[in-house]
């Protein structure tokens, strides 16, 4: 990866999971396994969290690669109400060693995701998105 040449972005989204309760662990495992295969080949890094009901994912990479993946996520029947809550330029990756760090289920983080899905005012959205990104980073470095 040539991060010093390409402009990096970070994108944080939240969504409602549309998973079969009988196969939820296998379904999330399949999502993570696909990300671990797909992401390195496309210069993507990041972290995924599943609360048992909602997904939160932070993606890092080139704008083109992140946007291509987001189109696929929005078309994925396992996600509903996909909301991009933060998008920003990066100087350096926060998850350089993770093609996809995965954490879940976490009820503690669930309230942070729900706050972002409630369509808060812009300043509160920025604070909540920043806090969720910090939590994902903390989980990945523990």
Return the pLDDT at 65. 96
Instruction: Say whether pTM exceeds 0.85.
Output: no
pLDDT tens, residue by residue, 72-131: 999 999 999 999 999 999 999 988 877 777 766 666 677 778 778 787 888 888 888 888
Determine whether 131 is exposed, middle or buried from the number of CB atoms within 10 Å of its CB (0-12, 13-18, 19+). middle
Q: Is the peptide bond before 66 cis (omega within 30 degrees of 0)?
A: no
- 93 neighbors 2 (Cβ within 8 angstroms): no
Sequence spans of domains, the chain: 8-141
Residue 137: what are its φ and ψ, rounded to 5°? -65, -40
Q: Give the CATH number of domain 8-141.
A: 3.30.70.100
Return the pLDDT at 1. 46
pLDDT tens, residue by residue, 49-84: 888 888 989 999 999 999 999 999 999 999 999 999
pLDDT tens, residue by residue, 31-51: 889 998 999 999 999 888 888
- 103 neighbors 113 (Cβ within 8 angstroms): no
Give the closest residue to 1 by CA, choosing from 37, 39, 33.
39
């Amino acid at each position: 990866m040539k991060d010093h040449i390409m402009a990096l972005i970070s994108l944080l989204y939240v969504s409602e999971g549309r998973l079969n309760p009988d196969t939820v662990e296998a379904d999330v495992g399949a999502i993570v396994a696909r990300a671990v295969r797909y992401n390195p080949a496309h210069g993507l890094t990041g972290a995924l969290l599943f609360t048992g009901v909602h997904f939160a994912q932070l993606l890092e990479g080139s704008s083109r690669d992140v946007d291509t993946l987001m189109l696929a996520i929005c078309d994925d029947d396992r996600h509903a109400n996909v909301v991009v809550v933060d998008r920003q330029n990066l100087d350096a990756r926060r998850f350089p060693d993770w093609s996809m760090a995965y954490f879940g289920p976490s009820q503690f983080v669930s309230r942070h995701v729900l706050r972002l899905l409630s369509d808060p005012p812009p300043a509160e959205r920025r604070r909540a998105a920043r806090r969720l990104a910090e939590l994902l980073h903390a989980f990945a470095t523990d």
